[in-house]
């Protein structure tokens, strides 16, 4: 990478976001953002996701003012209910029962901070979940154990079998880091993945 290219930091400890960012083949560091993620009273899901994405990026940027920092947050909404990370089989089953046969909207908020400049975007994904019986839901949870995922459905893995349809402008948004929007924002911040990507081992 050219010396003039700024450092890149992912302000997240999510392994899913780290794995997604690795697709761009850019060198980056990972720093945990120390941000209170408690929703504000009456805060809309989209506003919550965006506020936290920006707050995470700004918190890390304050420690590393020379870097370009990525912050992201995701909130899922079904029938007016916000679906967070279930954390347990019982809560995941409750979420999937609610989602069965219904639409779930995922707000994948993204923020990129460089100095005083903040770019942000909310990439929405509309998922229609199949009507599923209890046995199918239990079998999925036993096989996948998606207890660290908002909405309990990993569409990048077996969770795709839960879906009747997925609509989004960015196929990576649902996994947690919208790479199409991120690429655009990184270019604006001075990092072009196509020009800065590390070559694969053995490449000519």
CA 161 to chain centre: 20
| Dist CA 174 CA 204 (whole Å) | 34
Distances (CA, A) of 189 to 35, 50, 112, 186: 23, 19, 8, 5
The secondary element (H helix, E strand) that includes residue 81 is: strand 81-83
3-state DSSP assignment of residue 193: helix
d(CA 163, CA 130): 5
- Helix 15-22 and helix 179-188, axial crossing angle in degrees, nearest 10: 70
Q: What is the β-pairing status of strands 117-129 and 163-168?
A: antiparallel
Paired with 69 in beta bridges are: 9, 113
Dist CA 98 CA 91 (whole Å) = 11
Instruction: Give the active site residue among 47, 73, 148, 192.
Output: 73
Q: Is 73 one of the annotated active-site residues of the chain? A: yes
Residue positions annotated with a catalytic role: 73
């Amino acid at each position: 990478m050219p010396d003039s290219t700024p450092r890149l930091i992912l302000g997240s400890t999510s392994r899913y976001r780290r794995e997604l960012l690795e697709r761009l083949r850019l060198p980056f560091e990972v720093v945990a953002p120390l941000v209170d993620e408690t929703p504000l009273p009456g805060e809309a899901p989209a506003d919550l996701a965006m506020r936290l994405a920006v707050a995470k990026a700004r918190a890390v940027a304050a420690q590393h003012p020379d870097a370009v920092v990525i912050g992201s947050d995701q909130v899922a909404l079904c029938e007016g209910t916000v679906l967070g990370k279930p954390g347990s089989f019982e809560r995941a089953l409750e979420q999937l029962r609610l989602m069965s046969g219904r639409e779930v909207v995922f707000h994948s908020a993204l923020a990129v901070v460089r100095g005083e400049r903040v770019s942000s975007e909310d990439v929405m994904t509309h998922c229609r979940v199949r009507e599923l019986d209890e046995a199918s839901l239990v079998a999925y949870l036993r096989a996948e154990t998606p207890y660290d995922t908002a909405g309990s459905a990993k569409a990048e893995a077996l969770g795709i079998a839960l879906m009747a349809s997925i609509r989004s402008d960015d196929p990576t948004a649902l996994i947690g880091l919208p790479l199409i929007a991120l690429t655009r924002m990184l270019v604006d911040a001075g990092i072009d993945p196509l020009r800065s990507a590390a070559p694969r081992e053995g490449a000519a």
